[in-house]
Amino acid sequence: MNRRLLRQAAGPLGVVVVALVCWAAAGWLADRMVRQEFETALAAQRQVMRSVVDNMAEVVASDLAMSRAIPATMAETRVVQQALTGAAHYAASSDSTELARRKALQGVPALAGIDRFLHDAQGFSGLDAIWLVNANGICIASSNALERISYVGVDMRARAYLNDTLLGAFSEAYGVGTTSGEPGIFVAAPAYDDGLLVGAVVAKVGIARLRHWVAHPDTFVADNNGVIIMAHDSALEGRALPSSHVAEMNAVDRVSTYLRERFAPLDLRPASQAALNEAPWIPRADAAQMVELPGQRAPALYEQRGGLNSGLSAHLVDPVNAWSELIANHRRDRLLIFLTLAGTAALAAVISVSWVRERRLHHASRDLAGQLQAANALLAAEARHDALTGALSRRYFLDLLRREIDTAYAAGKPLCMAIADLDYFKQINDRFGHPAGDRALQHFVQTCRAELRADDAVGRLGGEEFGILLPSTSLATGLVVLDRLREQVGKRVCVELPEEASVSVSIGVTELAAAQDQPERLMSRADLALYMAKAAGRDRCEAMTAEGVVPPRAAAPTW
């Protein structure tokens, strides 16, 4: 009787034991299968994220390098140094008001000329504002001097970005304008006259001009205090990163920099435990790298790049794209494997499904690899050449400029750098249409290829502005060559342009200094020379030496 009861109990118990063993084995196999799929998807997503953040960091560094060049170059000009020296006696005191100082400063004829110079330079450079501050912290001249809200006469000693500069150091920082209330990047360069610090040249680039930094979804930029100054999702702007320095600042400094005292923290939390609770099969090393933001259903990956030579940092929080699908795949796989192990018929069916699924995964991985390879090739081509004109892209041209400077110094040879700008380009677009404008740009690049040497380089800096590199060429020779190029641009017939559409170009050229010249200074001098060419009536070439002097025109050998 007891044996019969044991046999009767052994049947159901055996089924339960086998079912439990099959279920455990199915779980183990499903973990391995979906883990491989997870790691493949995660590796592909990480590669794309690194490319996005690296490209974002390069754009930030490139834009800020161009912004630094303007005040740094202006601080070295004699007219700015003399203006700061002449206004050195203006200072804030108990018996002087901002309005009185502004009225007195605007009554100085020399400073009125400086105001006009700063206004023209601001409009030409694309900066939001440029102003001069004497050693006492008083703004003596500004690009907005004639506007209703003017910086002239304002005591700027409380500006955080100006403290180091008035002690002789170049500074750059994010802040919110006390007068305008608009956020931006402030760049301040010290100015010296006969070795004495006489003040600073300050420029502001508004955040609105830099929105292309966060064009990719889920990206944001933070300053050196850990405050998010720009984000693709504007709801994140003004929040503080975890453990950011802004929490350690005193209230006065926070208000001075951001015009606000409190900052809501960015609730960026580690998601490793939550991810393991939902998907215990993922590797712990991968789970440790996951974060989560409020409102996100899936854990996310986090990439950042700091050290952009500005205190800014680029960030990307990207939810794991395949998370929900992988969770569903794991549940499905476990059930399928369990059914496979339950019987021979189910085993054959599930093996077929698994084989098809593995083939699909293989094809998907191969297709993904092919897409990544094609995307990388396309990005490399777009990074090197401008799609419309065939000229070098801005980024590649700037990299080439740095290499040519190093080569010129190493070989002891001269180097000329020019910036060319098509005259009245907007009128061509407005009158004949954008296709005609495109042909005008292509006509200029084709003329450059016909008139310049194979070793010379032409890059599109933006819009109708081009950069030209002439290796092993002196300033006098470069001026002759570029003047010849300018003439050929107007003389050459472009059959695809209307007969009444005339194309002309203004060119500014400069030379490499004897030692320790920087790309930003070289481009800034070429920009100033181009400005002189535009101011002198357009359709002409102007030159500026490494010392910032306009050389006399003389005959020179050419090639």
CATH number where 186 lies: 3.30.450.20
Most confident of 61-65, 373-377, 541-545: 541-545
Cα separation, 523 vs 449, in Å, equals: 21
24 domain residue, yes or no: no
Among 150, 163, 21, 143, residue whose Cα is nearest residue 74:
143
Chain position carrying tokens 């004109």: 389
Average pLDDT, the chain: 86
Q: Which DSSP string corresponds to 207-222?
A: GGGGGGGG-STTEEEE
Query: In terms of pLDDT, which residue wins out, 357 or 396?
Result: 396
State the CB neighbour count (10 A cutoff) for residue 164: 16
Query: In terms of pLDDT, which residue wins out, 309 or 425?
Result: 425
Q: Which of 12-16, 138-142, 161-165, 383-387 has the lowest mean pLDDT?
A: 12-16
Query: In terms of pLDDT, which residue wins out, 288 or 13?
Result: 288
What pLDDT is attached to residue 408? 95
Cα separation, 263 vs 238, in Å, equals: 7
Looking at 165, 181, 208, the residue that finishes a domain is 208
State the CB neighbour count (10 A cutoff) for residue 104: 15
State the CB neighbour count (10 A cutoff) for residue 91: 14
Per-residue pLDDT band at 9 (split at 50, 70, 90): low
- Tens of pLDDT, residue by residue over 68-125, are 888 999 999 999 999 999 999 898 887 778 888 888 888 888 898 999 999 988 888 8
Looking at 208, 226, 253, the residue that finishes a domain is 208
Determine contact, residues 116/58, Cβ cutoff 8 Å. no
- Tens of pLDDT, residue by residue over 461-509, are 999 999 999 999 999 999 999 999 999 998 888 878 887 888 999 999 9
| Confidence (pTM) | 0.54
311 domain residue, yes or no: no
Cα separation, 508 vs 533, in Å, equals: 7
CATH number where 426 lies: 3.30.70.270
Among 31, 458, 63, residue whose Cα is nearest residue 230:
63
Q: Which of 179-193, 209-223, 361-375, 537-551 has the lowest mean pLDDT?
A: 361-375
445 domain residue, yes or no: yes
- 44: tokens are 């592909």
Per-residue pLDDT band at 261 (split at 50, 70, 90): confident
Determine contact, residues 233/218, Cβ cutoff 8 Å. yes
525 domain residue, yes or no: yes
What pLDDT is attached to residue 345? 46
Number of domains in the chain: 2
Cα distance from N-terminal residue to C-terminal residue, the chain: 115
Q: What angle do CA 78, 479, 410 make, to 5 degrees?
A: 80
State the CB neighbour count (10 A cutoff) for residue 285: 8
Among 276, 335, 352, 217, residue whose Cα is nearest residue 38:
276
135 domain residue, yes or no: yes
505 domain residue, yes or no: yes
Residue type at 353 in one-letter notation: V
Cα separation, 315 vs 317, in Å, equals: 7
Q: What percent of the chain has pLDDT over 70?
A: 92
Looking at 208, 229, 250, the residue that finishes a domain is 208
Per-residue pLDDT band at 141 (split at 50, 70, 90): very high
What pLDDT is attached to residue 5? 54
What values do phi and psi take at 387, rounded to 5?
A: -65, -30
459: burial class by Cβ within 10 Å (0-12, 13-18, 19+)? Answer: buried
553 domain residue, yes or no: no
What pLDDT is attached to residue 362? 77
486 domain residue, yes or no: yes
Per-residue pLDDT band at 1 (split at 50, 70, 90): very low
Cα separation, 233 vs 13, in Å, equals: 58
Decide if pLDDT at 268 tops 70.
yes
Decide if pLDDT at 304 tops 80.
yes
Element (H, E) at 197: strand 196-206
State the CB neighbour count (10 A cutoff) for residue 108: 17
Among 507, 508, 479, 504, residue whose Cα is nearest residue 490:
504
- Domain with 422 in it: 394-544
- 382: tokens are 């777009």
Element (H, E) at 419: strand 415-422
59-to-221, 243, 373, 389, 399 alpha-carbon distances in Å: 12, 26, 23, 21, 13
- 340: tokens are 């496979």
Decide if pLDDT at 244 tops 90.
no
Determine contact, residues 458/470, Cβ cutoff 8 Å. no
